[in-house]
Structures are given as C-alpha cells and as structure tokens.
Amino acid sequence: MQTILVLGGTGKTGRRVVTRLHERDLPVRVGSRSGDPAFDWEDPATWAPALQGVGAVYVSYYPDLAVPGAPEAVGAFARLAVDSGARRLVLLSGRGEEEAQAAERALIDSGADWTILRAAWFDQNFSENYLLEPVLAGHVVLPAGDVAEPFVDADDIADVAVAALTEDGHSGQIYELTGPRLLTFADAVAAIAAASGREIGYTRVSPEDYAGALAAEGVPADVIDLLIYLFTTVLDGRNASLGDGVRRALGRSPRDFADYAREVAATGIWKAADA
C-alpha cells in the first residue's frame, strides 16, 4: 500500500489517525511543520515534497476551515494531491459551517475520491485544549447557553477516518459525526464534575464579555474572532441534532460523553492543581 499522509498528524484527531495506521503496520507520513519532510499550510512549496509517493491523505486544515482563505488552500492542495497520484482524500470538516462547506466543494471539485467527515464539537476540547485550564480551575465560563450540542469523541473521528483511508465503500460519502445524545455545555461540565469527583461550576456570559476577557489574557485577535464565531454561529441551534455518520461508517454506536469523561477522569488529568 502507498504511504498515507496525515495532515495535522500531531493534532487531536491526526495523531490518533497516525497511531491507528501504525498499529496496522501501514506506511504513514506525518504532515506537520516538524515532519520530515515538513508540511506547512502557509507554505505551498512544502506540499509537493510531502505528497511524494502518497496514495491517500487525511486533510485537516489549520487553524480552522472557517478562516479566510481556507477553501482556496484546500482546493489548491487537493488538485496538487490528485495530480501527484494521491486520489483518496478524507477531509475533516465541521457541521453547519458555510465556510467549511466551501472548502468541501473545493476538495470535491479536484476530482479526488473524496470522503467528508463533518464533526461536532470534540469531547477532547475539555481535556486536550483551551477548556482544560478552566476545568482545572473549577469554573468554566463560556458564551454558550441552553442550545445543545452532540459532542463527538475524537477517537470515533479517527476510527472513521482510518476506515475511509484504508477501506472501500466510503468514497463520495458525507459522514455527520456526532455523539449519541445532545448536551449543553453546562451538562458536559456537570458530567466532568461527576466523573472527577470535583465541584466544577459553569457560567454563561455574553460573547462581548467573553471576547473582552480573552483579550485581557492576551489571546490573539484572530483566535478570539474564531472562538466567537464558533460559539455564536455554530451554536445557534443549527447543529442541535444527532448524525448517523459513525454508525454508517463503522456499524456501531458512537461513544457517549459520559464514557469519555470517566476514562479521562481515571487518568488524573482533571485533578485540581492543589489536590
């Protein structure tokens, strides 16, 4: 089998994809700035070397498909990949994001054998990303209210990605990847508190107050804009429904958030700093 290139191969879903491919003794190339050869979305000169000898690509765009220029970059990369012989492309996308769907169309128009993974909000944002710190502090403050989200586990995303990269029958499919039930962010924080045996509060604030607090902490303006977009647009109710992508792709139910919370709590990562 030809080499499989995993873009974002050190990220939340990418590193899980890499691990699974290694476990199958399949040839893998990690696409990252620290890879060999290096891959950088902002430097198209790095794309062709990374694609040499590659037959399939997991396409994860950094920082997010919602940022300006993402559809153009994804389209240009997809065309180069197909011309280089990497016809099977699996794109990590987002649910309910018009900008992400523009990137999807750009990849589809390349003529690739494509599969689209439209993922809900990751469970792992609470343990491997920016929400870990407030969980540890015992109080999560976000501009998210009563709109529910079908949080999805990154392990499920990786399992579907590997299936699409290595098996027949997934070309031309759009998989809506969600968990098995809807939770508000307050529900998710409560589940983490129960699993970790800690008191963790949740407070909803306005997008303006949240942006101001992030700015006061020195968070870059472009990151603030992206987060506000995700919380105000993607969480406006458009995604408050379950998808069947995990079952369609893998023939099993998606992992529940409570199972994720119990497993992560058992690692001790959510223990308070003074515990």
The pTM for the full model equals 0.96
Average confidence (pLDDT) over 167-192: 98
Q: How far apart are CA 173 and CA 175, in angstroms?
A: 6
Domain spans, the chain: 3-120+153-178+241-255
Q: How far is CA 249 from the centre of its chain?
A: 17
Q: Please write down the HEC assignment for all residues of 187-243.
A: HHHHHHHHHHCCCCEEEECCHHHHHHHHHHCCCCHHHHHHHHHHHHHHCCCCCCCCC
Question: For 73-82, what is each residue's pLDDT tens digit?
Answer: 999 999 999 9
Structure tokens at 175: 């998989």
**pLDDT at residue number 274:** 61
- Would you report the helix, strand and coil content of the chain in percent, each value rounded to 5? 45, 15, 40
pLDDT at residue 275 is higher than 90: no
Average confidence (pLDDT) over 186-214: 97
Nearest Cα to Cα of residue 152 among 69, 271, 249, 236: 249
Question: For 202-213, what is each residue's pLDDT tens digit?
Answer: 999 999 999 999
Percent of the chain exceeding pLDDT 90 equals: 90
Q: How far apart are CA 191 and CA 26, in angstroms?
A: 37
Q: Which CATH entry fits the domain spanning 3-120+153-178+241-255: 1.10.1840.10, 2.40.40.20, 3.40.190.10, 3.40.50.720?
A: 3.40.50.720
Average confidence (pLDDT) over 183-204: 97
